[in-house]
Amino acid sequence: MTSLAGLADGVFAWIQPGGESGVSNAGVVVDDDGLTIIDTLMVRSQWEPFAAAVAELDLPVKRVLLTHAHIDHVGGTQAFRNAMVLGSPATSDLLDQPMPVDAYKAFMSAFAEEFDDLAELGTRPVSHIIDDAAQLTPRIELLPASGHTAGDVMALVADCDVLFAGDLCFFGVTPLAFQGDPATWADVLDAVADLADVIVPGHGPIGSATEVRELQAYLRHCVAGTIPPGPWDAWAERAERDPINIEKAAMLRTGDDGIPPSMLKAIGLS
Ligand SMILES: [Zn+2]
């Protein structure tokens, strides 16, 4: 069973094993005024135990930071009803759209039965837009970026050298760039590798600069169009995601920012 893992004084990670589609990580940081939650998981069976563990800390939840708009990070916002919700402009725009429930069911069929509950509950809108780097609390620095999506935000806790990278980092799991830009993403990872010793990814186990460099090399191979043998041979979800990432990079080179046909197929739209 997943539990809150202490990374440093008042800094916790919630790491869901596997890290496949719909199975993401979250974090908690304690400041003097209360808690900041970093991402909220997806369906009730995931965020209820997380919210219960957070409640046991017995401190007010002041802030929810959404690293990006994907449903496996924003689905549990209703579990933290009194907190301000922080996200990028792109995250805010996406949360204002109707939830594409049928696509979620097709793409993450393991959770199909829980999406109706999620659709009924809905997600909370972003209340505070993050469009520039900012010191959110004495402990947390917000760092906007892009690459996985058009509006990624990372949270750096410099006093203990921990970075919550959101989906700019996938460790042990193949990244998914259907709404991103593999070339930009690979470039951004140069900075990410230097930000902190301990890196909490959006999916997979906690890692460090070593895993960031492996991810960067994989993404550069996607941009080049062929993926040679490498550490990624042990990653989950290669068969489905390699074609999506390669197609996306090739489409962007021709100026096409659309969803790759292989992704449309994966979500049941072709
Ligand atoms: Zn994502």
pLDDT recorded at residue 270: 67
What is the distance in A from the centroid of ligand 1 to the CA of 100?
Answer: 15
What pLDDT, on the 0 to 100 scale, is given for residue 230?
98
Render pLDDT for 50-90 as a digit per residue (tens, 0 to 9): 999 999 999 999 999 999 999 999 999 999 999 999 999 99
Q: CA–CA separation, 142 vs 131, rounded Å?
A: 10
110, amino acid identity: A
- Band the pLDDT of 254: cuts 50, 70, 90: very high
- The pTM (predicted TM-score) of the whole model is 0.97
Pairing relationship of beta strands 140-145 and 152-157 according to DSSP bridges: antiparallel
Q: Mean of the pLDDT values across residues 171-186?
A: 97
Question: From ligand 1's centre to the CA of 67, what distance in Å?
Answer: 9
Going by pLDDT thresholds of 50, 70 and 90, the confidence category of residue 267 is confident
Q: What is the pLDDT of residues 183-221, one digit of tens each?
A: 999 999 999 999 999 999 999 999 999 999 999 999 999
Percent of the chain with pLDDT over 90: 96
Per-residue confidence band for 2, with pLDDT thresholds at 50, 70 and 90: confident
DSSP state string for the chain: ---EEEEETTEEEE--SS--TT---EEEEEETTEEEEE---SSHHHHHHHHHHHHTT-S-EEEEE-SS--HHHHTTGGGSTTSEEEE-HHHHHHHTSPP-HHHHHHHTGGGHHHHHHHHHH--PPPSEE--S-EE-SSSEEEEEE-SSSSSEEEEEEGGGTEEEEEEEEESSB----TTS-HHHHHHHHHHHHHH-SEEEEEESS-B-HHHHHHHHHHHHHHHHT---SSGGGG-BTHHHHHHHHHHHHHHHHTT--S--HHHHHHTT--
Ligand 1 centroid from CA 174, angstroms: 12
Separation of CA 68 and ligand 1 centre (Å): 7
Q: What is the pLDDT of residue 1?
A: 72
Structure tokens at 194: 């230097």
pLDDT (tens digit per residue) in 104-146: 999 999 999 999 999 999 999 999 999 999 999 999 999 999 9
